[in-house]
């Protein structure tokens, strides 16, 4: 969920990423300052699946940076609503954050309301990469309906797989920049200066839902609610299973050469 390359937004002291994702993160009438470029060929429309901690966020970042689609993470919308001014915080959103803090899934209706309010992002000519949505069969069915109504077809659904001991190690070492949300790992992707973000210098923190108690609940939710999506997309001929062991670049190349080779 991080943004690797930052630049100064003219006339402000702030930093924004090349794909600033305002329309997705803030919803409502927000427009992106720097929407994704329209690709020369067909736009990529990708879904990433995989257990929490499998490395979806890192791959999402690399795929979006190199192939151009916009990174649409529902988790990022909930996290942003917690801290950002200008983000609508309805009662449903506050309740969603309570579910999230404990590691539980947010109710389908809330998630689907949030995605429906952001249909323009699915319809963006730059394409999209969905990370963390859909997470239940009901969400997948609703997405299928929504994409059908927009006459859009998915390019691929990528399922990252990793043994559970490696997943636990990845989650327990994960640190996130408190400001720009870039993701690090204390051993495999450490920042240059200990505990400080390479991009903006802010402090690195451990996400509340990366604490051991919440991780257990998230894993159970994944097994029960999200794993059935593998079969859902296999039946539609869209599923590609990618081993998620190794360095981020190796996993990226594996993804590119197998799941995304023919487009
Ligand atoms: P993530 O960053 O994708 O791991 O999401 C963090 C948390 O946000 C999850 O543990 C859930 O509590 C909540 N969440 C994000 N996306 C969804 C979704 N599609 N359905 C239900 N809950 C979600």
Q: Find, among 176, 162, 209, the residue nearest to 56 by Cα.
A: 162
Q: What is the structure's pLDDT at 85?
A: 55
User: What sign does the CA torsion over 175, 189, 173, 249 have?
Assistant: positive
Q: What are residue 189's DSSP bridge partners?
A: 185
In the predicted model, residues of the chain with pLDDT beneath 50 are 1-17
Ligand 1 within 6 A of 222 CB? no
| Side-by-side strand order, sheet with 70-73 | 70-73, 128-131, 45-50, 156-161, 239-243
Rounded distance between C-alpha atoms, residue 260 and residue 254, angstroms: 9
Entry pTM: 0.85
Give the closest residue to 120 by CA, choosing from 17, 29, 18. 29
Specify whether 181 is catalytic: no
Cα separation, 72 vs 60, whole angstroms: 9
Structure confidence by residue, pLDDT tens digits, 229-239: 999 999 999 99
The continuous run of DSSP H or E covering 15 comes out as: strand 15-16
**Residue 169, SS3?**
helix
Q: Please state, for a pLDDT cut of 90, what percent of the chain lies above it.
A: 57
3-class secondary-structure state, position 159: strand
Q: For residue 37, is the peptide bond before it cis, meaning its omega torsion is within 30 degrees of 0?
A: no
Question: Which of 48, 53, 106, 136 maximizes ligand 1 atoms within 8 Å of its Cβ, making it the mutation to test the pocket?
Answer: 106
**Ligand 1 within 6 A of CB of 176:** no
Ligand 1 centre from 105 Cα, in Å?
6
Residue 16 CB less than 6 A away from ligand 1: no
Sheet holding 183-185, edge to edge: 183-185, 174-177, 204-205
Q: Atom of ligand 1 at shortest distance to CA of 78?
A: 8
Query: Which CATH number among 3.10.20.30, 3.40.50.2300, 3.40.50.300, 3.40.50.620 corresponds to the domain 7-162?
Result: 3.40.50.300
Q: Which of 26, 56, 118, 254 is catalytic?
A: 56
CA–CA dist 239, 216 (Å, integer): 26
DSSP of 176-237, one letter per residue? EETTT--EEETTTB--SSTTB-TTT-PBEE--GGGSHHHHHHHHHHIIIIITHHHHHHHHTT
pLDDT of residue 43: 92
Q: Read off the tokens for 6.
A: 């930052």
Of 156, 158, 165, 170, give the one whose Cα is nearest residue 247: 170
Q: How far apart are CA 47 and CA 156, in angstroms?
A: 7
Catalytic residue status for 174: yes
Domain ranges for the chain, please list them: 7-162
125 vs 260: CA distance, rounded Å: 19
CB of 159 closer than 8 Å to CB of 90: no
């Amino acid at each position: 969920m991080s943004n690797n390359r930052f630049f100064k937004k003219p006339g402000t002291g702030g930093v924004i990423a090349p794909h600033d994702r305002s329309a997705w993160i803030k919803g409502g009438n927000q427009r992106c300052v720097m929407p994704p470029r329209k690709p020369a060929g067909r736009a990529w429309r990708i879904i990433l699946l995989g257990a929490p901690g499998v490395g979806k966020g890192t791959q999402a970042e690399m795929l979006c940076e190199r192939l151009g689609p916009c990174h649409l993470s529902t988790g990022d919308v909930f996290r942003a609503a917690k801290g950002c001014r200008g983000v609508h915080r309805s009662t449903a959103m506050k309740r969603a954050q309570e579910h999230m803090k404990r590691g539980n899934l947010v109710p389908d209706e809330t998630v689907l309301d949030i995605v429906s309010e952001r249909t323009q992002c699915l319809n963006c000519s730059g394409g999209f990469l969905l990370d963390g949505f859909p997470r239940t069969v009901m969400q997948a069915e609703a997405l299928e309906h929504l994409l059908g109504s927009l006459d859009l077809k998915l390019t691929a659904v990528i399922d990252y797989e990793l043994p559970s001991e490696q997943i636990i190690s990845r989650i327990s070492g994960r640190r996130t920049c408190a400001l720009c949300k870039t993701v690090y790992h204390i051993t495999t992707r450490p920042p240059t200066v200990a505990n400080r973000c390479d991009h903006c210098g802010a402090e690195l923190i451990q996400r509340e839902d990366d604490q051991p108690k919440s991780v257990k609940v998230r894993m159970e939710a994944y097994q029960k609610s999200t794993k059935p999506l593998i079969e859902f997309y296999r039946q539609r001929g869209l599923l590609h299973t990618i081993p998620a062991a190794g360095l981020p670049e190796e996993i990226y190349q594996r993804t590119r050469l197998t799941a995304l080779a023919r487009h």
